[in-house]
C-alpha cells in the first residue's frame, strides 16, 4: 500500500458539473509517511458568475477568480499530484466525481486509484460525534479551521483530521481492528487499506491491553466503573440554610459566581417541600438557575433520609446537560460524595448476545456494516450501552431494532448476563442518590409489574409543562404503516428467507414436527401482509377524499367518527382490522409452539447462535402481540374517554399514515395512580402559570385534590425593561378580517423591511406550516433579500439543530420555524436580535384532540376557549417569548403581528403572562426607525 495520501477540496458554483457548474478553487495537501510534506492551492476561473449564496458561503467573489487559470490549464498538474496516491476528501464522492467530470470535459484521463472518505472514516472511529460535518468535527478535536468553505483551509484541516483518525485507530485493541478490517471491505471508500496497514504493524508487537479495557467472547469492551459511596459519614452535613452558606458553597465551584435570590428561594422551597413531604409547583423564570436550584436541595434530602430522588425531564438535551454540567459542578462544591445515574427504557440499551451473533452474519447491506463497525468502536468507550450515545444513520436505526434490549426469554442461557448494560444501569439506580430519567420512561416503568420507580418516594419533574402531553402519549395508542410493514418483512413469508424461513430450517434440523404445517403458517403470513396493506389503502382513500374537501392541505388529520361505521369503504377497513387480529393470533400460536419446543432442547442440541435466534423470534412475537392489541383498541373496541384519528401526508401515502388515540383527560390516572402515591412530587418549569395562576396546570394534571400544595412563582432576574421591547404593527390587517393570502402578503412585506433593518439575526415563529411556506416563497421571490440566507423549517434540509447552527453561522440570516421552534431553542447573544411572532399560538379547533377536549368541557358546562384553548396558547406564547433573552447580556426586540393581543379582551392574558416590558405601536416605517435606533 502507498504511504502517500493526497487530500483534495474544491469549491464550486453548484453541485453538478454536468449541468454547467464549475470549480472556483481547488486545494491539495500531500501526506507522506504520516507527515504533511506539500500543499497546492489555486483559484479557478469558472467563466460564469458566482451565485450570491456561494459567495456568502465561501467568501469567494467574481473579482478573485477573474485572472485565475482555467481548469484545463491546471488539469495536468492535478493529475501529476494525484498519480500513485490515495485520493482523500471529506465526502469523497462529491469531490472526486466532480473532478472526474471536469477531467473528462477538458479531454484528460480520469484518476484511477484508491479513495478514502474522511466522513465515512469519522463515522466509524467517532460514532458518538453529534455531526460529521468538517467544521463540527475539527472543532470537537480542537483542529484550528481558519476559513471554513475555502478549499485551502478545508483541505488542510481534512488532512489534520485524517492524521487524527489514523492515530486514533492505532490505539484501538487488536481484536477490534481485526473485526473492523474484515467489515470495512463493504464500505464505499477503501478504508480497509488503512486498517490492514495498522494491523500489520500492530501484530509485530505483543499487545498490552489498557487497564480500562477487557476482551470478552471476542469483543473488546470498556470495563464498567463501580462507584462505591460511603454513606455513613454524610449524615453530619446539613442543608445550607442561610444565603451566606449557600454563596460560600456555590462560589467554591463556580467561577465569578453571582448571587441570584430567586435561585436560593427555589432551593429553600424544594428542600422544605421534600423535607415536609409536600407536593409543590414552582415556576422559575429564565436565568434563575433552575437546575442547580432543585438538584442541590434534592441531594441534601437524599443523604438526610438515605433515599434516592428521581429527576424526570422531557428532553434528552436537558438530561445530558444535567449530567455534564450541573452534576459536575455539584461534585466540585459539595463536601460529600454522591452517585448520579441516568436510566432510560430497556430498548435504549444494546443486547450484547444478539449483537455478538450478528457479527457472524455475511453482510451485504451498507448501513448494517457501517453500524456494526460503529458499535465495535463505541463498545471500547461506552460505560452505559445507551444507543443515544451513537449517531446512527436511519438504516443503522433499523439494524438497532435487531440488537436492542427487549428483556429475556432464555435469561439463564445468555452468556453476556454478567456484562449486561441494562441490568447494570438498574443496579446502579437502586444504589444512587439521584436518578435522572425522562417522563415517558417514568410512566412506562410505573405501570410495569417489576417497577423500579414505584419504590421512589420523592420525584422532581422538570420541563413539567410537557408532563400532561407525555402522559397522553403514554396512555394513548399508535400504529404506523412503515413499522407495520417492517415488522411483517422481519418475519417474512418462506420464500423471503427471513425469520420464518430460518425458524423452519432450525426446527427441521432438530427433527421437531409442529402441529401447524409450514405451508399453513406461510399462508397466514402472506395473508397478514395483504390485510395490513388493504387496511392502510382503505384509510388512504378516506384521507385523499378528505383532502379534496379541505382545500388541498397536504398533511391531513381526520377524526374517526361513528357515522363512518356504516360507510361501505370503512366497513372494509374494520373487516381488515379484525382479520389482522385473527391472523396474528394464528401466527403467534403456531410460532410460539415451535419456540417452546426449541426451548426444551438441551444446551448440547441448541448452540449459542440458535439461542440468540430464539430470543430474536420471541422479541418479534412480542411486537406482533402489541400490534394485535393496538389495532383492537384503535379500530375494533373504542372507548368513549379517548379520541381517535388518522393522519397522513397525501404526497406520501400510504407511507405517512398513522392511526392513533389519546385519552381526553389524564388527570384521574395521574392524580390517583401517580401523585397521591408519592411522599413528595415537585413540578417545575419556566412556564406553568396563566395570568399568574397555576389553576390551569393543576386541573390538567389532577393536582387539585392534593392537600398543602405549595405554589411558588420565582421571577427572572433579568431587567427585561432595559433588554427588550414589544412592538405591535399598526398597518397589518386583523388576522380574522382578511383572507389568509392577504394576511401572508402583508406579513411577508413587513418581514422583508424589518430583516433589512436588523441585518437578519431574526427568528420568525409560525403556527402553520402552510403560512410559513407561503411567506418563505414571497420573501424569496421578492428579490429584496438576495444578500440574506433564508432558512425555513420543512423547506431547508436538516434537523432543527442543524438549521439553528446554520442560522448562527451566517451573518445575515433569517430563520422561519413552527411547532418545535417555539421552545428549547437557545441562541444567545447577537446571533438572535429580533423575534417575530406571526400569530398567537392557538391550536386549530379542528385538531382531533382539541375538538374532543372542547366537547368534553362543553358537556361539563365549561367554556372550552377560556378553560383550555386560551391558557394552552398563553403557555406556548410564553415559551416562544423566552427564545429571545437567554443571558443577562442579551438584547433584542419582540414583534407580534397578531393584533388580537390588544384588540381582544383575552389578548391581555398574553401580555400579563410575560415580564413587564415597553409596548409600542408602530407602522412598518416607524418600526424600522425604532429597530435602527435600538441597535
Residue numbering of the annotated binding site for ATP: 284-291
Among candidate residues 795, 772, 803, 804, the one with its CA nearest the CA of residue 886: 804
User: 409452539: which residue's cell?
Assistant: 593
CA–CA separation, 313 and 325 (whole Å): 15
Among candidate residues 718, 821, 717, the one with its CA nearest the CA of residue 762: 821
Contact yes or no for 260/288 (Cβ under 8 A):
yes
Binding residues: 284-291
Beta bridge partners of 792: 816
Among candidate residues 37, 36, 38, 63, the one with its CA nearest the CA of residue 49: 63
Cα dihedral 456, 345, 384, 408 in deg (nearest 10): 110
3 state SS of 16: coil
Q: Alpha carbon 608 to chain centroid distance?
A: 35
3 state SS of 187: coil
Q: Which three cell numbers stand for residue 641?
A: 374517554
User: 393536582: which residue's cell?
Assistant: 703
Q: Which three cell numbers stand for residue 476?
A: 394513548
For residue 866, the number of C-alpha atoms closer than 13 Å in the C-beta half-sphere is: 7
CA–CA separation, 481 and 537 (whole Å): 10
**Crossing angle for the helix pair 118-125 and 92-105, nearest 10 degrees?**
170
Q: Alpha carbon 925 to chain centroid distance?
A: 41
3 state SS of 381: coil
Q: Which three cell numbers stand for residue 814?
A: 433569517
CA–CA separation, 124 and 165 (whole Å): 10
Among candidate residues 384, 382, 377, the one with its CA nearest the CA of residue 122: 377
CA–CA separation, 754 and 142 (whole Å): 38
Beta bridge partners of 644: 661
* CB neighbours of residue 580 within 10 Å: 24
User: 368534553: which residue's cell?
Assistant: 856
Among candidate residues 112, 87, 89, 110, the one with its CA nearest the CA of residue 100: 110
CA–CA separation, 398 and 558 (whole Å): 29
Q: Which three cell numbers stand for residue 793?
A: 423549517
Among candidate residues 705, 734, 698, 763, the one with its CA nearest the CA of residue 895: 763
Among candidate residues 857, 885, 847, the one with its CA nearest the CA of residue 767: 847
CA–CA separation, 602 and 599 (whole Å): 8
CA–CA separation, 339 and 317 (whole Å): 20
* CB neighbours of residue 400 within 10 Å: 18
Q: Which three cell numbers stand for residue 194?
A: 488503512
CA–CA separation, 744 and 764 (whole Å): 13
Contact yes or no for 737/746 (Cβ under 8 A):
no
Cα dihedral 387, 389, 395, 396 in deg (nearest 10): -70
3 state SS of 385: coil
Q: Which three cell numbers stand for residue 347?
A: 430498548
Among candidate residues 440, 405, 444, the one with its CA nearest the CA of residue 423: 405
Query: Measured on CA atoms in the order 655, 657, 662, 664, is the torsion positive or negative?
Result: positive
CA–CA separation, 433 and 435 (whole Å): 7
Amino acid at each position: 500500500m502507498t504511504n502517500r495520501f493526497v487530500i483534495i477540496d474544491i469549491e464550486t458554483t453548484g453541485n453538478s458539473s454536468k449541468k454547467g457548474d464549475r470549480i472556483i478553487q481547488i486545494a491539495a495537501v500531500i501526506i507522506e509517511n504520516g507527515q504533511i510534506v506539500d500543499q497546492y492551492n489555486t483559484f479557478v476561473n469558472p467563466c460564469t458568475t458566482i451565485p450570491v449564496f456561494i459567495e456568502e458561503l465561501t467568501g469567494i467573489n467574481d473579482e478573485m477568480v477573474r485572472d485565475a487559470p482555467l481548469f484545463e490549464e491546471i488539469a495536468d498538474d492535478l493529475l501529476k499530484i494525484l498519480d500513485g496516491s490515495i485520493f482523500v476528501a471529506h465526502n469523497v464522492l462529491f469531490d472526486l466525481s466532480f473532478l472526474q467530470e471536469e477531467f473528462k470535459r477538458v479531454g484528460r484521463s480520469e484518476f484511477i486509484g484508491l479513495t478514502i472518505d474522511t466522513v465515512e472514516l469519522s463515522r466509524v472511529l467517532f460514532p458518538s460525534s453529534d455531526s460529521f460535518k468538517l467544521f463540527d468535527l475539527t472543532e470537537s478535536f480542537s483542529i484550528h479551521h481558519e476559513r471554513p468553505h475555502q478549499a485551502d483551509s478545508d483541505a488542510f484541516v481534512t488532512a489534520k483530521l485524517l492524521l487524527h483518525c489514523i492515530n486514533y485507530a492505532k490505539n484501538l485493541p487488536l481484536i477490534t481492528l481485526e473485526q473492523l478490517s474484515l467489515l470495512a471491505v463493504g464500505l464505499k471508500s477503501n478504508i480497509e487499506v488503512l486498517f490492514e496497514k495498522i494491523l500489520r504493524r500492530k501484530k509485530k508487537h505483543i499487545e498490552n491491553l489498557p487497564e480500562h479495557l477487557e476482551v470478552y467472547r471476542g469483543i473488546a469492551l470498556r470495563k464498567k466503573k463501580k462507584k462505591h459511596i460511603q454513606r455513613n459519614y454524610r449524615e453530619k452535613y446539613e442543608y445550607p440554610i442561610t444565603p451566606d452558606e449557600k454563596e460560600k458553597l456555590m462560589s467554591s465551584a463556580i467561577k465569578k459566581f453571582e448571587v441570584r435570590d430567586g435561585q436560593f428561594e427555589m432551593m429553600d422551597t424544594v428542600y422544605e417541600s421534600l423535607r415536609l413531604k409536600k407536593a409543590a409547583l414552582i415556576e422559575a423564570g429564565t436565568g434563575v438557575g433552575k437546575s442547580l436550584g432543585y438538584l442541590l436541595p434534592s441531594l441534601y434530602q437524599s443523604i438526610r433520609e438515605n433515599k434516592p430522588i428521581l429527576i424526570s425531564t422531557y428532553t434528552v438535551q436537558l438530561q445530558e446537560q444535567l449530567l455534564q454540567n450541573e452534576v459536575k459542578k455539584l461534585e466540585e462544591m459539595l463536601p460529600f460524595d454522591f452517585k448520579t445515574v441516568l436510566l432510560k427504557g430497556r430498548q435504549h440499551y444494546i443486547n450484547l448476545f444478539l449483537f455478538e451473533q450478528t457479527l457472524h452474519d455475511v453482510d451485504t447491506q451498507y448501513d448494517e456494516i457501517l453500524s456494526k463497525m460503529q458499535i465495535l468502536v463505541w463498545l471500547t468507550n461506552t460505560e452505559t450501552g445507551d444507543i443515544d450515545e451513537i449517531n446512527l444513520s436511519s438504516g443503522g436505526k433499523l439494524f438497532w431494532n435487531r440488537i436492542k434490549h427487549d428483556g429475556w426469554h432464555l435469561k439463564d442461557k445468555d452468556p453476556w448476563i454478567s456484562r449486561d448494560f441494562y441490568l447494570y444501569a438498574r443496579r446502579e439506580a437502586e444504589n444512587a442518590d439521584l436518578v435522572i430519567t425522562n417522563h415517558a420512561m417514568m410512566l412506562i416503568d410505573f405501570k410495569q409489574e417489576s417497577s423500579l420507580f414505584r419504590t421512589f418516594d420523592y420525584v422532581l419533574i422538570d420541563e413539567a409543562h410537557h408532563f400532561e402531553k407525555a402522559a397522553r402519549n403514554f396512555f394513548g395508542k399508535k400504529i404506523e404503516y412503515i413499522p407495520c410493514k417492517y415488522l411483517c418483512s422481519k418475519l417474512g413469508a418462506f420464500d423471503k428467507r427471513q425469520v420464518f424461513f430460518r425458524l423452519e430450517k432450525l426446527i427441521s434440523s432438530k427433527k421437531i414436527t409442529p402441529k401447524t404445517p409450514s405451508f399453513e403458517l406461510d399462508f397466514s403470513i402472506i395473508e397478514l401482509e395483504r390485510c395490513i396493506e388493504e387496511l392502510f389503502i382503505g384509510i388512504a382513500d378516506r384521507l385523499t377524499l378528505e383532502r379534496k374537501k379541505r382545500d388541498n392541505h397536504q398533511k391531513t388529520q381526520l377524526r374517526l367518527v361513528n357515522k363512518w361505521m356504516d360507510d361501505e369503504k370503512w366497513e372494509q377497513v374494520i373487516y381488515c382490522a379484525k382479520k389482522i387480529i385473527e391472523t396474528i393470533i394464528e401466527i403467534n400460536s403456531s410460532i410460539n409452539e415451535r419456540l417452546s419446543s426449541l426451548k426444551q432442547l438441551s444446551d448440547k442440541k441448541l448452540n449459542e447462535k440458535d439461542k440468540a435466534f430464539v430470543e430474536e423470534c420471541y422479541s418479534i412475537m412480542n411486537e406482533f402481540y402489541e400490534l394485535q392489541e393496538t389495532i383492537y383498541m384503535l379500530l375494533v373496541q373504542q372507548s368513549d374517554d379517548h379520541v381517535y384519528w388518522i393522519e397522513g401526508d397525501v404526497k406520501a401515502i400510504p407511507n405517512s399514515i398513522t392511526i392513533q388515540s389519546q385519552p381526553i383527560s389524564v388527570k384521574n390516572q395521574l392524580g390517583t395512580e401517580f401523585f397521591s402515591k408519592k411522599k413528595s412530587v415537585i413540578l417545575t418549569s419556566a412556564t406553568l402559570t396563566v395570568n399568574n395562576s397555576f389553576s390551569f396546570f393543576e386541573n390538567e394534571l389532577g393536582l387539585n385534590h392534593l392537600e398543602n400544595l405549595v405554589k411558588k412563582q420565582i421571577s427572572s432576574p433579568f431587567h427585561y425593561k432595559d433588554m427588550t421591547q414589544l412592538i405591535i404593527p399598526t398597518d397589518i390587517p386583523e388576522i380574522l378580517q382578511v383572507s389568509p393570502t392577504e394576511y401572508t402578503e402583508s406579513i411577508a412585506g413587513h418581514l422583508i423591511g424589518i430583516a433589512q433593518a436588523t441585518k437578519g439575526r431574526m427568528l420568525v415563529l409560525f403556527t402553520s406550516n402552510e403560512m410559513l411556506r407561503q411567506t418563505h416563497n414571497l420573501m424569496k421571490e421578492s428579490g429584496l433579500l438576495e444578500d440574506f440566507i433564508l432558512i425555513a423549517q420543512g423547506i431547508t434540509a436538516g434537523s432543527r439543530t442543524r438549521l439553528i447552527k446554520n442560522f448562527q453561522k451566517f451573518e445575515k440570516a433569517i430563520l422561519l420555524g413552527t411547532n418545535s421552534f417555539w421552545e428549547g431553542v437557545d441562541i444567545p447573544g447577537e446571533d438572535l436580535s429580533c423575534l417575530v411572532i406571526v400569530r398567537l399560538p392557538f391550536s386549530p379547533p379542528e385538531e382531533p384532540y382539541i375538538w374532543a377536549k372542547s366537547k368534553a368541557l362543553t358537556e361539563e358546562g365549561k367554556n372550552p376557549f377560556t378553560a383550555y384553548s386560551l391558557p394552552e396558547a398563553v403557555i406556548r406564547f410564553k415559551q416562544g417569548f423566552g427564545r429571545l433573552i437567554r443571558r443577562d447580556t442579551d438584547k433584542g426586540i419582540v414583534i407580534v403581528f397578531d393584533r388580537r393581543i390588544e384588540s381582544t379582551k383575552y389578548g391581555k392574558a398574553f401580555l400579563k403572562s410575560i415580564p413587564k416590558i415597553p409596548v409600542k405601536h408602530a407602522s412598518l416605517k416607524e418600526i424600522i426607525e425604532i429597530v435602527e435606533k435600538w441597535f
